[in-house]
Amino acid sequence: MVGLSIGEKHFIQGGIAQDLRSDGRKRLTYRPISVETGNIPQANGSARVKMGATDVIASVKAELGKPSPFQPDKGKVSIYVDCSPTAAPMFEGRGGDELSAELSAALQRCLLGGKSGAGGGIDLSSLSIVEGKVCWDLYIDGLVVSSDGNLLDALGAAIKAALSNTRIPKVHVAASASSDGQPDVDVSDEEFLQFDTSGVPVVVTLTKVGRHYIVDATSEEESQMSSAISVSINRQGRICGLTKRGGAGLDPSVILDMISVAKHVSEQLMNKLDSEISAAEACEEES
């Protein structure tokens, strides 16, 4: 928890009310964003994203698995976040474990639309190899290296960048496989398919401080919030997931307004992220 004096609290709240935050940004402006891809050679895809002083890493590992009997034509995705104890004092001990579980569940809702993956931003049907028999299981791991607020948006951006960097081996299925037996599959070591991220959303968190809401809140600003809503929105403007935190309730009209603002902000974030990912992948190819 960030310890602030009464004067500091009034300064933060007053700045937000006047649309001039303590670091000079307006209410709906993000901090500088940088992206690096291919940081973890052992993974199928990886990325590091920095938003101001918030620093996170995401990696994607693909393994062959068996589809769920309830969704035989889809693959599976699991998301787990780990908060490094050195990222912030509050991450030491159980505090880090609780936040890790909270962030993992929130990303699951925002990117997959819940445990089932229905309506989510990641196309699970593209991970199917043989219906009901074989699929790809994607294990997405996030690591919080340094925390200065807005972890969910940063992790969402890192996962999108890591998926863009993901190369999945091409699989050849033996034609002689029987209908009731497990098919023989040959995983290529040389041919890879790029994961399609056209439908993968960005996560935009609007943090309510006083009567106003802001994007990309710092830790100090988050300490003054009454509530926050995180909305995941894809390139087509479709809402893929939504989650709320904070004890204060929100009027439905306020929620609708926040979603509308999030949609507008998501276009800017998507364009900035796409530009940074393209530049990062160009640097990776040159090296």
Confidence of residue 2 (pLDDT cuts 50, 70, 90): low
Tell how far CA 228 is from the center of its chain.
Answer: 16
Residue 125, pLDDT score = 87
For residue 161, being part of any structural domain is answered with yes
Strands 76-83 and 212-215: unpaired
Domain that holds residue 136: 15-173+181-286
Mean pLDDT value across residues 150-162:
96
The tens digit of pLDDT for each residue in 210-251 reads 899 999 999 999 999 989 999 999 988 888 888 888 777 788
- Mean pLDDT (the chain, rounded): 87
| pLDDT tens-digit map of 227-237 | 999 999 998 88
In this structure, are strands 134-146 and 76-83 parallel, antiparallel, or unpaired? parallel
Does residue 244 lie within any of the structural domains? yes
Provide mean pLDDT across the span 14-37: 94
The pLDDT of residue 281 is above 70: yes
Judge whether 7 lies within some domain: no
In the predicted structure, residue 118 carries a pLDDT above the cut 60:
no
pLDDT at residue 124, as a whole number = 87
Q: Tell me if 62 is assigned to some domain.
A: yes
> What pLDDT, on the 0 to 100 scale, is given for residue 254?
87
As a three-state string, the secondary structure of 148-202 is CCCHHHHHHHHHHHHHHCCEEEEEEECCCCCCCCCCCEEEEEEEEEECCCCCCCE
Percentage of the chain exceeding pLDDT 70: 91
Encoded tokens for 285: 């190819």
User: Is residue 4 one of the residues assigned to a domain?
Assistant: no
* Domain assignment present for 2: no
Which residues are 232's β-sheet partners?
Answer: 203, 241
Residue 93 pLDDT > 80? no
User: Quick one: pLDDT at residue 283?
Assistant: 83
Q: How many structural domains does the chain have?
A: 1
Instruction: Reply yes or no on whether the pLDDT at 94 is more than 70.
Output: no
* CA–CA gap between residue 10 and residue 37 (Å, rounded): 40
Residue 112: the pLDDT is: 84
* Burial (Cβ within 10 Å: 0-12, 13-18, ≥19) of residue 46: buried
Q: Which pLDDT band holds residue 109 (cuts at 50, 70, 90)?
A: confident
> What CATH number has the domain bearing residue 218?
3.30.230.70
What pLDDT is attached to residue 199?
A: 86
Phi/psi region, residue 208 (left: phi>0; alpha: psi -120 to 50; beta: rest), is beta
pTM of the model: 0.91
Q: Does residue 60 lie in a domain region?
A: yes
Res 198: pLDDT = 85
Question: Of the candidates 28, 19, 24, 12, which has an alpha carbon nearest to the alpha carbon of residue 257?
Answer: 28
Looking at the predicted structure, is the pLDDT value of residue 264 above 80? yes
In this predicted structure, what is the pLDDT of residue 165? 93
Q: What angle do CA 6, 83, 122 make, to 5 degrees?
A: 110
Beta carbons within 8 Å of 166's beta carbon, 6+ residues apart: 44, 45, 60, 62, 194, 195
Residue 84 belongs to some domain of the structure? yes
The identity of residue 19, as a single letter, is D
Closest by alpha carbon to 263, among 245, 240, 279? 240
In sequence order, the 6+-apart residues with CB closer than 8 A to the CB of 268 are: 30
Question: How far apart (Å, rounded) are the C-alpha atoms in residues 96 and 90?
Answer: 7
Cα angle for residues 160, 19, 13 (degrees, 5° grid): 95
Give the residue from 225, 203, 223 showing the smallest Cα distance to 214: 225
CA 245 to centroid of chain Cα atoms: 16
